[in-house]
Amino acid sequence: MSVLKIQFSAILIFSSSLLFAQKVFSVDYASQAEVKVFVVDYESQTDLNVYKVDYESQAKGNEGLWYFVNYKSLSDKTIYFVDYQSQADVLVYFVEYESQAGWLKNIKKYLFY
């Protein structure tokens, strides 16, 4: 019975970390990043529409709601903003409203799990 409780606790902890997987930290070098990001000029060019939230509690799920943390150790993903589109893993566009956030191309969604 105690093994079952331990397994359940591990699953609960793992799944809760997925729910808040949008805490990001911008690193200084591409080699330090888990995901390389390029910010496009137009929404039609993007893989992911990102809305920058003000509070950590607002960054829920893999929905493009990003909360930028001040320390790498507090992040779930490290990102690096590249200079050229061809260097990027994901193309993002920063939107003005939370309701506009989300994936346009689900094929790259796995990068933020």
pLDDT tens digits for range 61-84: 899 999 999 999 999 999 999 999
Sequential DSSP letters for 76-95: SEEEEE-SSGGG-SEEEEE-
Look at residue 14 in the predicted model and tell me its pLDDT.
41
Cα–Cα distance measured from residue 79 to residue 77, given in angstroms and rounded to the nearest whole number = 6
Query: What's the confidence (pLDDT) of residue 2?
Result: 52
Q: How far apart are CA 93 and CA 2, in angstroms?
A: 47
* 95-111 confidence digits (pLDDT tens): 999 999 999 999 999 99
- As given in the structure block, the two tokens for residue 80 are 């690096």
CB 100 within 8 A of CB 50: no
Instruction: Name the 3-class secondary structure at 35.
Output: strand
pLDDT tens, position by position, 13-48:
444 334 444 899 999 999 999 999 999 999 999 999
Q: How is the chain split into domains, by residue range?
A: 2-112
- pLDDT value of position 61: 84
